[in-house]
Amino acid sequence: MVTRVLAGEQSPEQCRSSIASRRTWFRILFGAMGASIASLLYPVCRYLVPPPDESLNTSEALAATTNELKPNSGKTFRFGNKPALLVRLASGEYRSMSGVCTHLGCTVQYRPESTQIWCACHNGCYDLNGRNLSGPPPRALDIYDVHVRGQEIYVSRKQAA
């Protein structure tokens, strides 16, 4: 039997289906709105990540001039945006290594008394080849190449062999 519906009236089934379709429509609408709002989170998350620092790629820096360092002394200089160490051994030979302690990132210094590299923060010691000798440092310091050109001493990252 067919249910007759008068104009302006709804059968219970129609009423139910109309509520159901309204609900579906509501879900689609709010789902789409939610998705578009969520899509704003993507640029925000990307924005929060700082852009890469160009100075990280620095491969060479001027460390000192030849008349600057006496034998058995050291100097800290800027290599990119990190400190690095230039040491003149008692023999007059130059050595250079990263100035950032491998333990917790303090800046290390050359100690002429012990002819070692020492980190004041937690008493870490390295030898002149950058190897960690005592204290908490877990790894050796990166060693750099030293080139003397005329009066100027340049330091560069070690080329991968």
Partner 1 sequence: MNAAGRVQTWIDERFDVEEALQPLRDKTVPVHRHSHWYFLGGLTLFLFGVQIATGLLLLLYYRPSASEAYESVQHIMNRVQFGWLVRSIHSWSANLMVFCAFAHMFSVAFARAYRKPRELTWITGVILLFLILGFGFSGYLLPWNTRAYFATKVGTEVAGQVPVIGRAIMIFMRGGEDVTGATLTRFFGLHVVVLPAIAVAMLLSHLLLVQKFGISVPATVENEWQDRPDLRKEMKFFPNFFLRELMAWYIALAVLIALATFLPWETGTKVDPFAPAPPGIKPEWYFLAQFQTLKLIPSHILFVDGEVLGILGFGLGGALWFGLPFIEALLGMRGARLVRLGVTLALTYLAAMSVVGYVAR
Nearer to partner 1, 8 or 50 (CB): 50
Among 41, 49, 56, 160, the residue binding partner 1 under the rule CB under 8 A is: 49
Among 8, 12, 51, 138, binds partner 1 (CB under 8 A): 51
Would you count residue 28 as binding partner 1 (CB under 8 A)? no
Report how far residue 118's alpha carbon sits from residue 125's, in angstroms, rounded to the nearest whole number: 5
Binding mask 119-148 for partner 1 (x = CB under 8 A): ------------------------------
The three-class DSSP label of residue 83 is: strand
Using CB under 8 A as the binding rule, whether residue 43 contacts partner 1 is answered as yes
122: left (phi over 0), alpha (psi -120 to 50) or beta: alpha
CB 125 within 8 A of CB 117: yes
Amino acid at 18: S
The contact set with partner 1 (CB under 8 A) reads 33, 43-44, 46-51
